[in-house]
Structure 1
């Protein structure tokens, strides 16, 4: 019955398309694996450097660092993009950002000072 509705063919086609699209992300996933794998060493270092009484506190502070950086940097990138933006609005009322605005925001993540107005 499902062959009559072509559900199996549709599912197979969707899986092939998804595999093709995801293959473009494989180098990025490999890079993320290489870079973020070293983060687990920070927990071990935090535990070994501090006294045993404070090892739990030190690993929790170390763990919070990544989340705190994400929470702080996300609005900062938006502020930098707004600061370098020409100030236009789209028809729906959203701000218009050029590729240079996105570049300035990414420079902030790289630790460089964006040149703007």
Structure 2
């Protein structure tokens, strides 16, 4: 499936705590490693249905230790907690960037409702 968005640059921050992605429409996003980890498109996180989606806690200090292109449609990220099964398509990364504020607020609400923390 062809992506509607095309990245012009993908850069891992020197401290490995964020990923900057720039798109051909001029939009760019700085996506924190924590946000990418808790939003992993993997079945391990998302499950096979919305009811199976997991709330991932304790990832405030996670780092990205690997960025691997997958064809010309996605990137595979490896985190220092060894999670590496999510394949982030260009459209998904654009969506994460566009909705970052709302998604992070919903995540924090979900953590609070479940008695979980970003630190454990």
TM over 0.5: same fold? no
In terms of Rg, which structure is larger?
Answer: 1
Higher relative helix content: 1
Q: Which has the higher contact order (CA 8 A, sep 6+)?
A: 2
More strand by share: 2
TM superposition score normalised by structure 2: 0.24
TM-score (normalizing by structure 1): 0.24
